[in-house]
Amino acid sequence: MRHFFYSVIFVLFLLTPHSHVSAATDGDSKEAIKKVEQYLQDLKTGRARFVQTANDGTQFVGTFYLERPGKLRFEYDPPNEDFIVADGVFIYFYDSKLGEQTNAPIGSTLADFFLRKDLKLSGDITVQNVKRTDEYLMIELTQADDPQGGTLTLAFDEDPMTLKKWRVVDAQGMITEVELFYLKTGITHSGDLFAYYNPKSGKPNYNK
């Protein structure tokens, strides 16, 4: 379950071929980490289109919704009827092929890193690398108590600071990637957007 949510919830950084990559100096790294930490802490609500790329190259498109602390939703475009939703306590994955859902407490998954009220790039999270390409600032993270369990690399535009992509490599080397488009922040979501519902109940698909 832990690796499942690790792969699905935390999505993409994908390097553009032939991008120039440079390691930040210690001083630059500390400043970059501080700016990213503040940006993520201030990111309370958001909506974006996303493209998710699985390890086998399969791609899925949909809409991502965020309301921190505790809530998010990944809604995939038709004909894919899967969705992921965190309601502030649990995170649910609905598998439309099986017609059933699985769930876990948010605090037992790595979604907790992104959804917690006090988001810091320290403590139970370790910053392994800070790098820059021609386009992005990249920060690679691991769990402090399980550094071999996989990596999460976040990619940001810096002017202005904007989350663009993230990439997960799990302990087995499987890669899940997602890129965000048209991210809007500081928005108001409908009250039931982050509630789990059984699609058979007839409630709407939020992408329609």
DSSP-derived secondary structure for 111-178: HHHHH-SS--SSTTEEEEEEEE-SS-EEEEEEETTBGGGEEEEEEEEETTEEEEEEEEEETT--EEEE
- What is the pLDDT at residue 19? 35
Q: How far apart are CA 165 and CA 177, in angstroms?
A: 8
For the chain, what is the domain count?
1
Q: Taking the complete model, does pTM exceed 0.75, yes or no?
A: yes
Are 177 and 56 in contact by the 8 Å Cβ rule? The answer is no
For residue 202, what pLDDT band results from cuts at 50, 70 and 90?
Answer: low
Closest by Cα among 79, 153, 76, 68 to 119: 68
Q: Domain for residue 26, yes or no? A: yes
Q: Domain for residue 41, yes or no? A: yes
Residue 49's Cβ-side half-sphere holds a number of Cα atoms within 13 Å equal to 5
Q: How many residues does the chain have?
A: 208
Q: Domain for residue 133, yes or no? A: yes
Q: What φ, ψ does residue 45 adopt, rounded to 5°? A: -135, 150
Are 108 and 102 in contact by the 8 Å Cβ rule? The answer is no
Whether pLDDT at 150 is above 70: yes
Whether pLDDT at 10 is above 70: no
Whether pLDDT at 124 is above 90: no
Please report, for the domain that includes residue 104, its CATH number: 2.50.20.10
- Amino acid in the structure at residue 106: I
The average confidence (pLDDT) of the chain is 82
For the stretch 178-190, pLDDT in tens is 899 999 999 999 9
Are 92 and 102 in contact by the 8 Å Cβ rule? The answer is yes
- What is the pLDDT at residue 67? 96
Share of the chain above pLDDT 70, in %: 83
- What is the pLDDT at residue 166? 87
Q: Domain for residue 208, yes or no? A: no
Sign of CA dihedral 64, 67, 69, 73: negative
Q: Domain for residue 207, yes or no? A: no
Whether pLDDT at 28 is above 90: no
For residue 26, what pLDDT band results from cuts at 50, 70 and 90?
Answer: low
Q: Domain for residue 43, yes or no? A: yes
Q: Domain for residue 111, yes or no? A: yes
For the stretch 68-94, pLDDT in tens is 999 999 999 999 989 999 999 999 999
What domain range is 94 assigned to?
Answer: 2-186
For the stretch 40-75, pLDDT in tens is 999 999 999 999 998 899 999 999 999 999 999 999
Q: Domain for residue 59, yes or no? A: yes
